[in-house]
Copies of this chain bind each other. A is one copy, B any other.
Amino acid sequence: MDLIIPVVLCGGSGTRLWPRSRKAMPKPFLPLVGDTTLFEATVLRCPAEAGFGAPIVVTGALHLEHVEAQLADPAASRVIVEPEGKNTAAAIALAALRLPEDAIMLVCPSDHHIGDVAAFQAAAREAAALAQDGWLVSFGIAATAPETGFGYLRRGDAIPGSGGFAVAQFVEKPDLQRALGFLADGGYAWNGGIFAFRAGTFLDELAAHRPALSEAVRAAAAQGQADGTRFHPDPAAFARIEGESVDYAVMENTARAAMVPAAMAWSDIGNWQALHEARDHDAQGNTVRGPAELVDCSGVLVDSDGPRVSVIGARDIIVVVDKGEVLVCTADGAQKVGKLAGAVNQ
């Protein structure tokens, strides 16, 4: 099989994991789980020995420095520097335009955690094989909770000779009642934003379903400038692109949507509670980074960049200290961190 080209998407505003994650240094570039950053881990889980080629990273000027500092092999990697954020359809199209038509792309968000790398690589191989046959493939991530913050994929017919399935339906973020139903049904998986397709197939489908978007991206790429490993789309042309997600623009419209099941200890690390769950814990369910003393605590996360944090008698509380900001929240409260004045006005 051809090499799989990781297309790593690096956006993110850094509000939901504030105050650790900030606009200038958002989530992908922080070592939130283990010692590597989420971006580094995204690249490292796509190594040559598992059939991957050198990555293409799509990012903004604000984060270019972090990307290049954290790339495992910067000389071999390519970086597309977006003048502004235009959502995922444009970002993926830009990468596709810099690749041969028959290249197999694996689109990877750079701010997720995947605990089981072998399962990820196995799913990537399944997805790549289907992509080679002309499918546009989503990873269908095994749902382990009635999440209301994710889109879902409803599994259709099995695709003969593969481990994949047609997608019967893309489902928007459900309410809790529906999410519980999906979980009980078993035929639904989370749409985690990981996709495989041939570059040419993707561009054809984009042109078919979003001709204006397709034209605008082609213009921005055609008038863009290469600079060593970097590629800069033309800013004026780029500004005319309508930002839209790849799900809306392509995946929900194509007749060739497939999915591969992936049970790989995935988390989008969507807030501090999700990060709490992804980290290692002691016997009391506590997890600590930085100087801390915990007394009579359970389910407590402490993350401090310097000041000592002393906690007594707390259950299921998150305490984060970063550069003069202190956050204390419950598991439920973690969902509202992005709306705090500190997160909004950074």
Q: Which chain A residues have a beta carbon within 8 Å of chain B's beta carbons? A: 19, 293, 295-296, 304, 306-314, 317, 319, 321, 324-334, 336-337, 339-342
With A293-B341, A336-B313, A340-B293: A326-B326 Cβ-Cβ less than 8 Å: yes
Complex: how many Å from CA A339 to CA B327? Answer: 24
Residues of B within 8 Å of A331, CB to CB, are 313
Task: Name the residue on B nearest A329 (C-beta).
Answer: B312
Q: Return the contact of A306 from the options B19, B310, B324, B334 (Cβ within 8 A).
A: B324
In the bound complex, CA of A195 to CA of B249 (Å)? 81
CA distance A339 to B294 in the complex (A): 12
Q: Are B336 and A308 in contact (CB under 8 A)?
A: no
**B residues within 8 A CB of A341?**
293, 310
Q: A330 near B313 (CB under 8 angstroms)? A: yes
**Chain B residues within 8 Å of A332, by CB:** 313
Name the one of B19, B312, B333 contacting A340, with C-beta atoms under 8 angstroms. Answer: B312
Query: Are A325 and B308 interface neighbours, CB within 8 A?
Result: yes
In the bound assembly, the distance between CA atoms of A200 and B329 in angstroms comes to 58
Contact A319 B326 (CB under 8 A): yes
Identify which of B308, B330, B339 contacts A326 (C-beta below 8 A): B308
User: A295 is contacted by which of B295, B321, B336 (Cβ under 8 Å)?
Assistant: B336
Residues in B neighbouring A319, C-beta threshold 8 A: 326, 328
Residue of B321, B324, B337 touching A312 (CB-CB under 8 A): B337
B328 touches A314 (CB 8 A): yes
Contacting residue for A328 out of B328, B333, B337, B342, CB 8 A: B328
Q: Is the CB of B324 within 8 A of A317?
A: no
The answer to whether A330 touches B304 (Cβ under 8 A) is: no
Q: Taking CB as reference atom, which chain B residue is nearest A336?
A: B312
Known A-B contacts A333-B295, A336-B296; A304 and B326 likewise in contact (beta carbons under 8 Å): yes
Taken together as a complex, chains A and B put the C-alpha atoms of A293 and B304 apart, in Å, by 19
Shortest A54–chain B CB gap in Å is 41
A314 and B326 contacting across the interface, CB-CB below 8 Å: no
Contacts of A307 in B (CB 8 A): 321, 324-326
A-B contacts, 10 listed (Cβ < 8 Å): A295-B336, A296-B333, A306-B324, A307-B326, A310-B325, A310-B328, A310-B342, A312-B336, A312-B340, A317-B328
The 9 closest A-B pairs by CB, nearest first: A313-B333, A312-B333, A313-B330, A312-B329, A309-B326, A311-B328, A307-B324, A310-B340, A310-B327
